[in-house]
Amino acid sequence: MDSLEESGRYERQIRLFGVEGQKSLKKATALVVGAGGLGSSVTAYLAVAGMGRIIVVDGDVVEISNLNRQILHGARDVGRSKAVSAAETVLGLNPEVDVEAVALFADEDNLADLVSEADLVIDALDNFPARYLLNRAAIEIGVPLFHGAISGFNGQATTVIPEKTPCLRCIFPRSPPKETSPALGATCGVIGSIQASEAIKYLAGKGELLGGRLLIWDGLRAECDEIPIERNPRCGDCGVEEF
């Protein structure tokens, strides 16, 4: 490790995946697209775990209605850039992390450049049109994508490894109807923690990832289920067959 202070900070997780695993985290760059409920949870846990660099992308500003779940922001941040607020909070959690705030909405004009800077991508978005753009960019560049979504007490997560697992469009060929879903902070915590855990496992080379499985969280019943999924050879984003 680079310093005794750093070794002490991460000592309890080094017991899980060793010094080499911790070095893998430190060398990696995570792109977190969305600094809302999911993005707050994922970013916080990646930061305290010692992710070397985190790029936080969000073009929105903090609103009072965000504060029940978006834990990187506080009352004093209302009206401020979510990306900037998130980056400042991350530095307070772990000043050893190199964090970059990108105060832009992710779109087809900027996603390829953003994804190309990262070793992994966190989908912390709240709409499927943007998710599809992120999914395609991750596949084209060859970067793993860690998907999460929530609605009220319920949530879902999966991991996309380009050329190895089903992608997001394989699972959801068509965008679900657009709606403003209810949002509970604790549900963001559950799904965001799963996404962060998947990203850490990927970098540390530990455990079995959620590739080929869609995890479903039912918070009202406190139950997890999973749906096995397969690659669609005719998928518009990752398919290998011609239509």
105: domain CATH number?
Answer: 3.40.50.720
Structural domain contains residue 15: yes
Residue 243 is predicted with a pLDDT of 42
Residue 4 is predicted with a pLDDT of 43
Structural domain contains residue 233: no
Structural domain contains residue 145: yes
pLDDT interval class at 6 (50, 70, 90): low
- Close Cβ partners of 106 (under 8 Å, ≥ 6 residues apart): 33, 34, 57, 59, 114, 125, 130, 133, 134
Could you report the per-residue pLDDT of 91-132, keeping only the tens digit for each? 999 999 999 999 999 999 999 999 999 999 999 999 999 999
Does residue 143 carry a pLDDT above 90?
yes
Q: What average pLDDT does the chain have?
A: 94
- Total domains in the chain come to 1
Structural domain contains residue 182: yes
Q: What is the mean pLDDT of residues 195-212?
A: 97
Environment class of 141 (CB within 10 Å of its CB; exposed 0-12, middle 13-18, buried 19+) = middle
Domain that holds residue 45: 4-161+173-208
Structural domain contains residue 235: no
Give, as one character, the DSSP assignment of residue 68. T
pLDDT interval class at 139 (50, 70, 90): very high
Structural domain contains residue 99: yes
Q: What is the mean pLDDT of residues 152-175?
A: 96
Does residue 202 carry a pLDDT above 90?
yes
Q: What is the pTM assigned to this prediction?
A: 0.95
Answer for the pair 130, 106: CB distance below 8 angstroms, yes or no: yes
Could you report the per-residue pLDDT of 52-62, keeping only the tens digit for each? 999 999 999 99
